Amino acid sequence: MSESETARDLLRNMPVFPPTLAGFDPEATPDNPLELFLAWLSQAVDAGVLAPHAVNLATIGLDGMPDARIVILKDVGQRGFSFASSSASPKGRQLQDSPSAALTFFWPAMGRQIRIRGSVSEGQTAENAQDFRRRNPVARALVLAGRQSEVMMGSGDDGVQEQLARLDADDEIVSADWTVFTVAAETVEFWQADTNRRHTRLRYSRAGRRWDKDLLWP
């Protein structure tokens, strides 16, 4: 048996969703997608979904190729969906070059996906600093060392211990690179799986101060 046959066997008929799923009536949805997002998020938390705030962030690479990785959702409000990272990281540089992004949540236990697309803005200094100070010391030291996504050459320390010692001496130190990025949603799509494969997709599209709602073919 070839390697690909083994992989195909492994992948075939793999369960994706639990046997019963929450219902979703698009007719009974709010006018604002933020409200529905918060309702789905709290249902995911109640259902015990692991890391429901982990979200795939897709950006446009400096070479024009798509790039994607998981980040943690830090806040959500009328301004948009916020995550934080170093502006000196590849994603940070990509967002400076092309300030737009797509976010994708996937909560298998709920049979749900949420897709968000929009332009990206950077937080003010105070907001960035506040988020930085909330991080644990090792996470802060790693940002201060400023090497995210560089190839590791030596012991894997490269100044991290030194930054930890600096933070130990002064807990208020902040990295100027740490940035809260906010995606101002232009579209938000809610996807609800159905056990009979009649999945439901509801897309909100910004129309000035209002939102248009459309059902999409699954």
Assess 150 for contact with ligand FMN (CB under 6 A): no
Transcribe the chain into DSSP letters.
--HHHHHHHHHTT---S-SS-----GGG--SSHHHHHHHHHHHHHHTT-SSTTEEEEEEE-TTS-EEEEEEEEEEEETTEEEEEEETTSHHHHHHHHS-EEEEEEEEGGGTEEEEEEEEEEEPPHHHHHHHHHHS-HHHHHHHHHT-TTSPP-SSS-TTHHHHHHHHHH-TT---TTEEEEEEEEEEEEEEE--TTS--EEEEEEEETTEEEEEEE--
Question: Any contact of residue 76 with ligand FMN (CB under 6 A)?
Answer: no
- Report, in Å, the least distance between residue 77 CB and ligand FMN: 17
Which residue stretch of 33-41, 78-86, 98-106, 195-203 sits at the interface with ligand FMN (rule: CB under 6 A)?
78-86
Q: Which of 91, 112, 140, 203 binds ligand FMN (CB under 6 A)?
A: 91
Q: According to the binding rule CB under 6 A, does residue 128 interact with ligand FMN?
A: no
Nearest to 96 by CA among 179, 170, 188, 198: 179
Q: Report, in Å, the least distance between residue 143 CB and ligand FMN.
A: 8
Q: Does 149 bind ligand FMN (CB under 6 A)?
A: yes
Number of residues that bind ligand FMN (CB under 6 A): 15
Residue 178 within binding range of ligand FMN, rule CB under 6 A = no
Binders in 29-58 for ligand FMN, by CB under 6 A: 51, 54
Residue 129 or 202: which CB sits closer to ligand FMN? Answer: 129
Which of 7, 62, 72, 215 touches ligand FMN (CB under 6 A)?
72
Q: Which residues bind ligand FMN (CB under 6 A)?
A: 51, 54, 67, 69-72, 83-85, 89-91, 148-149
